[in-house]
Structure 1
Amino acid sequence: MLIVRNLAYWLILSVSAILMFVCVVPAMLFPQGPNKVGRGWALLLMWSLKHIIGLKYEVQGREHIPKQAAIICAKHQSGWETLALQEIFPLQIYVAKKELFKIPFFGWGLKLAKTIGIDRKAGAKATTQLMEQGLARKREGFWITIFPEGTRVKAGERGKYKLGAAKMAKLLEMDLVPVAHNSGEYWPRNSFLKYPGTVRVVIGEPVPHTAGNEAELMRRCEEWIEARQAEIGGVGPCYSAPAPRDAA
């Protein structure tokens, strides 16, 4: 039955992605139109995950969500959080690799929704791209979501936290909101199957952009996120404890 439910979910995702793109084009005539269409699509998929797959979630720390736009600095374990954060937080745009824009319908929709596209091969120019596009999105009233590890990391593991989010926070004068979750224990990286259960999401108090230099801001976010990961992890069906490091 799990396979059948997953097939139904993927069918909904595939068909709705095409319909979403069709709706995004005329929505460009309205302020934040494509983003609102994209958010509606994310909510549809979240509904499908809950009612078809049986994948739910609970949130701790909603009271920490600030009233003013901020930068969401979240753990990245699967595709789940790219959908769920749109349901939990105000209207937002993502920082993503430009290669995603080439994906038919989905990627085209991302580009029309003004996703901040980064060319990882651009070196120092990538930082300039990040800042220029981020400033434009702030002026348009968007929140910004960035995954500081840069890529999806297997549940139970820890990637290298990059300074992009902190650099953006300093330049744009936007606070960082750290977010921890254990989605990868139910939606493994690069897996066709999603599993029923309850993802735990924890939102931390905002880290003020004035609370130190870039390295200090990122260190505070990383320490908070990873401490929460240790508290909420290890309960899902797809969790596997990382192998112990060689003592040598």
Structure 2
Amino acid sequence: MATVLLVRHGRTTANATGLLAGRTPGVFLDDHGRDQAALTGARIAAVPVVGVVSSPLERCAETARAIVDRQKGAPTSSVDPELTECDYGQWQGRQLGDLASEDLWRVVQSHPSAVVFPGGESMAGMQARSVAAIRRHDAAVEAEHGPGAVWVAVSHGDIIKSILADALGMHLDLFQRLEVGPASVSIVSYGASRPRVGATNTDSGDLSWLAKAIPPGDAPVGGGAGTPTAGGRTPRIKT
């Protein structure tokens, strides 16, 4: 099975000021977000990735560039509109503090599968199109590069949370239990039997073990011995 690194874009001014940017054009990383993206690029540099797929929005494109620029090889780089931010409709461009007073906010927190943003898309539709895109790219990567291949998808917080919820077998109504911070890396491997989630929301730690990892088969009963790295150590990744 191939492995996908799900990377959220680095921080933007909209993030820092509590603005729901949504699909608004021209939202770029701020200075801190560029530093975050550079750190993520440095972490992933230890792993020879075969491709980087990004949401078309500028903040994701900047983050993807920071990853590609640190790679020693020449991974393919592409954009997929299906990985773009949720269409928040009339909520887009508003302050989160103001939105929290609306009735729909409580539904977003407790029953997101029932949410349709006014003038926008449903959260169920958001999950369906993003999960389909990730699985499609993953199957193509494995078909071309083999089961040990690693690739990167750069997207947005709610998008990645919905993908992780699917991989974990969680109902969408539970996805608010997941945290996906700016420039964080989450790790998912898809297989014939089930997906495996190797890590979520990591913002530090060694990823070089991914370059040496043997694609897993069946899940070991009892938990197994962990993923070995050079020197026989098990990687420690902050989550």
TM-score (normalizing by structure 1): 0.31
Higher relative contact order (CA 8 A, sep 6+): 2
TM-score (normalizing by structure 2): 0.31
